[in-house]
Amino acid sequence: MEKGVFSIYMAGVGGQGLVLLSNVIGSACAKAGIRALTGEQHGLSQRSGSINVHMRIGQNIRSPLIPIGGADVLLSLEALEALRYVEYLQQGGVVLMNSRIQHPIAETALHVKDKSATYFSVDEVRNRLSQVTDKIAIIDALALGRDAGNPMTENIIMLGALSVIEAFPVPEKSIRESIAENVPKKAVDANLKAFEQGKGHAYEHLCNVIKCRK
């Protein structure tokens, strides 16, 4: 719809490192001489609530917000949050979704009253999203993060997967440099490893769903 723009709608739950993720990508863009903008949420929304970051990459963009139906990629650090923002995804756009679910307290409170209720599941999210796109990649980022030596690296695992997408306009080298500069010093190794884990996992399992870089 908009030429020369690559839009990533990022979603998650407060505390998952979404703003860090968008900062890593943004700084990588600055290094590569590419223009990038984000619309972020700070403050009240962090308290275990639903959060989102709009990220737009391209030379001529002005608005940090992605229009409805405008996201090339919907990247979600939590499965329910992918569905919550489905209106931003382009028809046929890519969903990169962490398989982790953090059950909202409102849902748990209902289950105390209704003994037969079951939680909203990853499969349910996938089924519903599949009405909008067939490019849905589900990643167990928590498990991959643990393998990388730090379960807090879910965000960078997802970045690794994002980086293999053919249309993603940011060079890998800039991203690696940006990770090294932007994550806490003692976590640099784990994060660089997490980036590789995410990338490797995507190449191995997701290139049948998403169009990958060579």
- What residues line the site for other proteins (CB under 8 A)? 1-2, 13-15, 19-20, 22-23, 26-27, 29-30, 35-50, 60-70, 80-81, 83-84, 86-87, 102-112, 115, 118-120, 128-129, 131-132, 142, 151, 181-182
- Report in angstroms how near the CB of residue 81 gets to other proteins at its nearest: 8
Torsion of CA 130, 86, 175, 198, to 10 degrees: -40
Those residues with Cβ within 8 angstroms of residue 53's Cβ, 6 or more apart along the chain or in another chain:
9, 10, 18, 19, 21, 22, 38, 39, 40, 41
Q: Which is nearer to other proteins, 35 or 213 (CB)?
A: 35
In whole angstroms, how close is the CB of 27 to other proteins at the nearest point?
A: 5
C-beta closer to other proteins: residue 177 or 203 = 177
Residue 197 tokens, joined:
């884990």
- Residue 43's contacts (CB-CB under 8 Å, 6 or more residues apart) are none
Residue 204 CB, nearest distance to other proteins (Å)?
25
**Residue 140 Cβ vs other proteins, minimum distance, rounded to whole Å:** 13
The residue among 84 and 213 lying less far from other proteins, judged by its C-beta, is 84
188-205 and 154-163 helices cross at what angle (nearest 10)? 50
Contact between 182 and 155 (Cβ < 8 Å): no
Q: What is the H or E stretch that residue 29 is in?
A: helix 18-32
In the complex, the smallest distance separating the C-beta of residue 163 from other proteins, rounded to whole angstroms, is: 17
CB closer to other proteins out of 45 and 211? 45
